[in-house]
Amino acid sequence: MLQASPSSFVILPAVAKIVCEPGWKWQKREKPMQNYDLFYVWSGEGTVVLNDRSYEVGKGSCFLFRPGDHPTATHNKQKPLVLTYIHFDVDIPVNDVPQSYREVLETVEFEHLLARYVRLFLSDVYGRDEESRLILKQLMIHLLRADTEAPVEKKVSNQLSDVIQEVANYVRQHPGITHRVEDLAARAGLSPRYFSIKFKELIGSSVQSYIIRMRIERAEHLLVHTGMNVTEVADALGYRDIFFFSRQFKQYTGKSPSEIR
C-alpha cells in the first residue's frame, strides 16, 4: 500500500469508535470479510482469533483484517474493549500490505490519526473525503514502517532507554504525586503493557515497586533531615492513612518511621 495513491483508497461507511457492550462478541460469519478492516484497541481486555491463531489483546493491539479473513473476538465484560474499526478498500492491486497484527508501541500519533478519521466521518466538512483518504494512507505508512523497523529494534533501544529513564527520574522528582501506570506510559508515548515490561527490564523493578520505593526514600530523607514528624511526612507524600504509611515504610526499610526519626 506504500505505492498506492491516497485517491486509490475507498472509504466505506463502517467506521466507529465504540465501547463494546458487556455481552459483546464477534462471531464467525458465513461469508469471509469483503474488504479491509483496521481494528484498534484503545483499552480493555479480550481475545481475537484470526486464521486459527489466538491473540490476547489490550491497549495498543492493532489488526488489519484482509478480504477473505474470518476473525472472531470476545472480551472481558469487566474490562470491556474500547475500539476503533475502519473498513476500507483499495481500488488497485497492492502487494505491500501491513502485517495482520502488531502491538502499536508509540500510540499517541497513531491514536490521533484514528480519532481524526472518525471525527471526519461523522462530519460533513469541506474536503472530508480527501482528508480521510490521506489519513488512511498515513495509517498504512505508520503500520508498514513498524513492520520494517521491527527486526532492527536494537537501533532504537538507546532512545527507548532514555525515555524510560526520563520517566523514572520524573517519579523520583515527584514522589508525592499519585502516579498511575497509564499516565506514565502516556508520558513515554508507549502502551501501558509495553511500558511496564520495558520499565522493569531497564530499571530493575516493577513500576509500582519503584513508585513506592521513591516515596519511602523521600520519606526517610524528610524524617532524618527536616525535623518533620511522622504525620507531616505521611501527609506530604500523599498517604491518607498513617498506619498504612508506617507499615509500608517498615516493609521497605526494616524499621518504623519513628525509629528512623
Q: What are the residue boundaries of the structural domains of the chain, listed by start? A: 6-152, 209-260
CATH H-level, domain 6-152: superfamily = Regulatory protein AraC (2.60.120.280)
Instruction: Kindly tell me if the per-residue pLDDT of 124 is higher than 90.
Output: no
Quickly state the pLDDT bin for 158 (edges 50, 70, 90): confident
Quickly state the pLDDT bin for 106 (edges 50, 70, 90): confident
Instruction: Kindly tell me if the per-residue pLDDT of 65 is higher than 90.
Output: yes
Quickly state the pLDDT bin for 31 (edges 50, 70, 90): confident
Residue 15: per-residue pLDDT: 93
If you average pLDDT over every residue of the chain, what do you get? Answer: 91
Mean pLDDT of 118-140: 94
Helix axes 207-225, 242-253, angle to 10 degrees: 100
Residue 80 in contact with residue 20, Cβ under 8 Å? Answer: yes
Is the whole model's pTM more than 0.85, yes or no?
no
Instruction: Kindly tell me if the per-residue pLDDT of 261 is higher than 70.
Output: no
Residue 147: per-residue pLDDT: 84
Residue 27: per-residue pLDDT: 84
Residue 156: per-residue pLDDT: 52
Cell of 12: 466505506
Instruction: Kindly tell me if the per-residue pLDDT of 154 is higher than 60.
Output: no
Length of the chain: 261
Residue 38: per-residue pLDDT: 97
Distances (CA, A) of 46 to 72, 78, 165, 200: 11, 10, 31, 24
CA distance 261 to 182: 35
Instruction: Kindly tell me if the per-residue pLDDT of 9 is higher than 50.
Output: yes
Q: Report the C-alpha dihedral over residues 162, 159, 101, 149, rounded to 10 degrees.
A: -170
Instruction: Kindly tell me if the per-residue pLDDT of 152 is higher than 90.
Output: no
For the chain, what percent of residues have pLDDT higher than 70? 96
**Tens-digit pLDDT profile for residues 215-226:** 999 999 999 888
Quickly state the pLDDT bin for 52 (edges 50, 70, 90): confident
Q: Would you say the CATH fold of 209-260 matches that of 6-152?
A: no
Mean pLDDT of 210-239: 91
Q: In the sheet where 61-65 sits, what is the strand order? A: 9-19, 82-90, 36-43, 61-65, 101-103
Higher per-residue pLDDT: 64 or 159: 64
Residue 15 in contact with residue 115, Cβ under 8 Å? Answer: no
Distances (CA, A) of 118 to 64, 109, 111, 132, 139: 17, 15, 11, 9, 13
Mean pLDDT of 154-159: 62
Mean pLDDT of 96-121: 93
Cell of 155: 537501533
Architecture of domain 209-260: Orthogonal Bundle (1.10)
CA distance 4 to 62: 21
